[in-house]
Chains A and B, each alone.
Chain A
Amino acid sequence: SQKIEQNSEALNIQEGKTATLTCNYTNYSPAYLQWYRQDPGRGPVFLLLIRENEKEKRKERLKVTFDTTLKQSLFHITASQPADSATYLCALDRTGYSGAGSYQLTFGKGTKLSVIP
């Protein structure tokens, strides 16, 4: 079965620094790797996705990289702010593939980011 791991349960960084979160997966190659933000008591909110044939994607202060050889995605928040404090989830998406997991979004456990003023 698909397995997705986010290496850190929690990450504390100083305001203004770059936060880097890691997502590793095994067994299946996703068509997309998605990143979500979740605030306490709320549902996850989509941030970015990166396709299997893309190396890097940017959106404002966010950057995602995807290395299909290492089976790893990195999520960066540059110039971090206290408002960036939240839990960040990555998800495997096999849209377009046939077979197991082809309709599912499989989530990692998340990394809780705290940006310290």
Chain B
Amino acid sequence: NAGVTQTPKFRVLKTGQSMTLLCAQDMNHEYMYWYRQDPGMGLRLIHYSVGEGTTAKGEVPDGYNVSRLKKQNFLLGLESAAPSQTSVYFCASRDPTVNTEAFFGQGTRLTVV
């Protein structure tokens, strides 16, 4: 059982480049989340989804877009990367109808130079 898998694990981007981070879960969870974690700032919610085809903004959505075309996948896009988006990104999923704990991926370390 793979749980939550994030791709890629590491990436270096130049300012202005674009990229997509992929999150895949095999637990049939309805809810999926994208967080960023920075030193001293904790985990901050970027966007989330409560089901296939739905997305919503979290605390820090600017500069990011998301899509949930399939229930098992949640994509996070950076259209024009900025150094301020250097961070570790975590994806999580959960199913509140079963239990409310969240399962996290291993993270993607992104550096924008």
- A-side interface residues toward B, CB under 8 Å? 32, 34, 36, 41-46, 49, 89, 91, 93, 95-96, 103-110
In the complex, what residues of B have CB within 8 A of residue A103's CB? 31, 48, 50, 56
Contact with A along B42-58 (1 / 0, CB 8 A): 11110010100000101
- Asked if A43 meets B105 with Cβ closer than 8 Å, knowing A103-B31, A106-B45, the reply is yes
In the complex, what residues of A have CB within 8 A of residue B105's CB? 43
Contact between B104 and A43 (Cβ–Cβ < 8 Å)? yes
Q: Which residue of A lies closest to B105 (CB)?
A: A43
In the complex, what residues of A have CB within 8 A of residue B104's CB? 43-45
How many residue pairs between the two chains, A and B, have CB atoms under 8 Å in the bound complex?
55
Shortest C-beta distance, B70 to chain A (Å), equals 19
- Asked if A42 meets B50 with Cβ closer than 8 Å, knowing A49-B101, A103-B56, A105-B92, the reply is no
A sample of 18 inter-chain contacts (CB < 8 A) reads: A34-B100, A34-B101, A34-B102, A36-B102, A43-B90, A43-B105, A43-B106, A44-B43, A89-B43, A95-B100, A96-B96, A103-B31, A104-B33, A105-B33, A105-B102, A106-B45, A108-B42, A109-B42
Size range of the chain B interface in the assembly: 20 to 34
Q: Do most interface residues of chain B lie in helix, strand or loop, or is the interface mixed?
A: strand
Q: Which residue of B lies closest to A41 (CB)?
A: B107
Give A36 to B56 CA distance when docked, in angstroms. Answer: 24
In the complex, what residues of B have CB within 8 A of residue A32's CB? 100
Shortest C-beta distance, B52 to chain A (Å), equals 15
Give A103 to B31 CA distance when docked, in angstroms. Answer: 8
- Asked if A104 meets B107 with Cβ closer than 8 Å, knowing A34-B100, A109-B40, the reply is no
Besides A103-B50, A105-B45, A108-B42, 8 more A-B contacts (Cβ < 8 Å) are A36-B102, A43-B107, A46-B102, A104-B45, A105-B92, A105-B102, A106-B45, A109-B41
